[in-house]
Amino acid sequence: MKKINLILAFFLILLLSCSENNDSQKFNLTDDTTGICDDPRLNDPEDGTICCIQRNSQLSIDSTVEYEYKTNIPNPSIKWTVVSGDINIVSDTNSNILVIEFGNNFNKGEINCVGESSEICTESVLIVKE
């Protein structure tokens, strides 16, 4: 009987040590916002319509992420949308600041913002889990 208990204990320890813990896995996220809001035309509406989206916080699967829409269009009405992916908007969609969080099934997604006044300017950001 001792041998059976010892064998069962060994297999139980082996089983527990080999099981995956998905909560402890860390994933790297990337987006395509680097440097695009550095354009000096954002400060001058005479240079043509321009807009961009910049990320204002760390890009993490485990916390909310803040993005900001910038444009040289005077007083635009703003509308954010999720184009694709398991992304949830947790802030106002009619502000220049958007806060999102990622769902459990997130692998890849896209957010979009449209600014509209006398002109229209649309920008999107692709976010990918690597």
* Structural domains in the chain (count): 1
Average pLDDT over residues 103-130: 95
Structural domain contains residue 7: no
- Write down the residue that tokens 């997604």 correspond to: 109
Lowest mean pLDDT among 33-47, 55-69, 92-106, 109-123: 33-47
pLDDT digits (tens, 9 = 90+) for 59-110: 999 999 999 999 999 999 999 999 999 999 999 999 999 999 999 999 999 9
Q: What is the mean pLDDT of residues 101-128?
A: 96
- The range of the structural domain enclosing residue 50 comes to 26-129
In a domain, 19, yes or no: no
Domain contains 124: yes
- pTM of structure: 0.78
Does the residue 2 lie in any domain?
Answer: no
CATH of the domain at 107: 2.60.40
Distance CA 120, CA 97 (A): 18
